[in-house]
């Protein structure tokens, strides 16, 4: 069937399309690279006519136009599934709020729990011959958004690659109400720092030996996964697979190095399965032309019961702070919001259930406080007041810093305290021991960690 006539009938301008938005509406901007650009600016230009328009989005890589209008909070409220640097700034300004979630469940929220999506505005690849607007590198939960929305508007961006995948990586023109041809802004780039530090390499050196041939990898974004990917590329490991919420830059390097075949995957054999891809133009070009990269809805990729069926699933994620109980906060530091839960809990649970699988939470032992310039420990006696627990202590498996690695499964609270203090920077260990004693986590028989590390 030729869908050209339907396309012409539904084609309109951004200014006309946003006229469907009314005060009080819930508007969905999708997620990350699917965030509309032209429609965002057109909606912002209507700010004087609108009040209390609530927008759902997340992981935007630039400040949206709706957050730049005068008295923005009176007109638009941003509700983020995950926060980028731009959204953290909006949270501090009172223009945005975070929505707690497990990434594997978000599609279900749209299907069962959310009261409404009045208008969906989503950036897509151009329509194909089957009448489908592909979501590109980010199927995530876009199909669920389109199913719920009263009005669906797509903004076409010719730079978004058409990514092969399971059903759910696109919306058919029959379900689209309006089409806007955008001005094709470049794909945003979110890159890990290529300048690896001694700390990054020290962490990677402890994790990579734990990875067997035929392992299936889940890597987050950042310097540590990049360091691990680089070290794997230089290793003798072979026949690795990918089943990862995020397709990060490190996977491109591993694929080009011939390390990824997916030959031993329990299912999706030979395919690299992901729900979101973020990176350079090289990454987008790679997944667009690769026959093995498979984009899939997040409810498929992150479902814990499915992860449990993958043999040798290796999960590598980061943290903001960890305390002596083994609690992991990857979202906030105290009341200061930083990112979001994403699928970390999904993969920590799934990797442990996987036959031969392992879950690693990796983080540098210290950070430099930007406000004071002081070096502070990321291992705390207890999480700072107001910190959100992303991974509770009873699900965490391996914790890794540049000073060591420990499996906390099955350890009592006093054993955990001793082991986790051994992961801290030596200058902070004595104070952590004193705090552990005050908090009833230290036995007389505990060994004092070697501070000469």
Active site residues: 245
Question: Which residue reads 């310039």 in tokens?
Answer: 373
SS3 of residue 315 by DSSP: strand
37, 29 Cβ separation under 8 angstroms:
no
- Our CA angle for 9, 14, 15, nearest 5°, is 110
What is the DSSP pairing of strand 404-407 with strand 398-401? antiparallel
**Smallest Cα–Cα separation from 157: which of 1, 6, 3, 14?**
14
CA 302 – CA 273 distance, rounded (Å): 10
**What value does the CA radius of gyration of the chain take, rounded to a whole number of Å?**
23
Q: How much of the chain is in helix, strand and coil states, percent to nearest 5?
A: 30, 20, 45
In whole angstroms, give the CA distance from residue 245 to residue 268.
Answer: 15
Give the separation between CA 92 and CA 284, rounded to whole angstroms.
32
CB 78 within 8 A of CB 99: no
Confirm if 313 and 350 have CB atoms less than 8 A apart.
yes
Identify the sign of the CA torsion 174, 179, 181, 184. Answer: negative
Q: Are the C-beta atoms of 263 and 270 separated by less than 8 Å?
A: yes
């Amino acid at each position: 069937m030729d869908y050209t006539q339907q396309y012409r009938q539904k084609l309109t301008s951004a200014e006309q399309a946003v006229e469907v938005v009314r005060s009080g509406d819930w508007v969905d901007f999708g997620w990350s690279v699917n965030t509309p650009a032209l429609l965002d600016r057109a909606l912002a230009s209507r700010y004087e006519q609108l009040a209390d328009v609530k927008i759902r989005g997340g992981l935007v890589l630039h400040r949206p136009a709706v957050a730049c209008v005068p008295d923005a909070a009176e007109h638009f409220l941003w509700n983020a599934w995950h926060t980028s640097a731009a959204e953290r700034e909006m949270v501090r300004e009172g223009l945005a709020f975070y929505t707690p979630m497990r990434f594997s469940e978000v599609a279900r929220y749209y299907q069962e729990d959310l009261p409404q999506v009045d208008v969906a505005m989503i950036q897509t690849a151009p329509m194909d011959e089957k009448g489908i607007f592909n979501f590109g590198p980010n199927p995530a939960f876009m199909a669920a958004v389109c199913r719920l929305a009263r009005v669906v508007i797509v903004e076409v961006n010719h730079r978004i690659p058409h990514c092969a995948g399971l059903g759910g990586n696109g919306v058919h023109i029959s379900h689209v109400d309006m089409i806007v041809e955008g001005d094709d802004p470049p794909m945003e780039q979110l890159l890990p720092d290529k300048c690896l530090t001694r700390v990054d390499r020290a962490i990677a050196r402890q994790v990579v030996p734990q990875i067997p041939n035929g392992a299936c990898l889940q890597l987050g974004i950042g310097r540590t996964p990049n360091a691990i990917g680089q070290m794997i590329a230089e290793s003798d490991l072979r026949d690795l697979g990918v089943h990862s919420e995020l397709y990060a830059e490190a996977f491109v390097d591993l694929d080009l190095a011939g390390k990824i075949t997916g030959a031993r995957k329990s299912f999706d054999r030979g395919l690299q399965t992901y729900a979101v891809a973020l990176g350079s133009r090289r990454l987008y070009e790679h997944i667009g032309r690769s026959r093995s990269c498979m984009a899939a809805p997040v409810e498929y990729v992150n479902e814990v019961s499915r992860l449990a069926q993958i043999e040798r699933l290796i999960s590598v994620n980061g943290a903001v702070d960890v305390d002596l109980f083994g609690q992991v906060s990857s979202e906030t530091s105290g009341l200061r919001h930083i990112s979001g839960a994403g699928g970390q809990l999904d993969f920590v649970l799934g990797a442990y259930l996987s036959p031969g699988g392992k879950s690693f939470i990796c983080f540098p032992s210290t950070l430099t406080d930007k406000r004071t310039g002081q070096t502070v420990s990321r291992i705390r006696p207890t999480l700072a007041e107001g910190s959100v627990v992303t991974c509770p202590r009873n699900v965490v498996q391996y914790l890794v810093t540049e000073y060591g690695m420990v499996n906390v499964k099955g350890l009592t609270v006093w054993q955990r305290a001793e082991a986790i203090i051994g992961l801290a920077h030596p200058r902070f260990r004595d104070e952590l021991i004193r705090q552990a004693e005050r908090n009833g986590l230290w036995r007389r028989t505990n060994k004092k960690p070697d501070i000469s590390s």
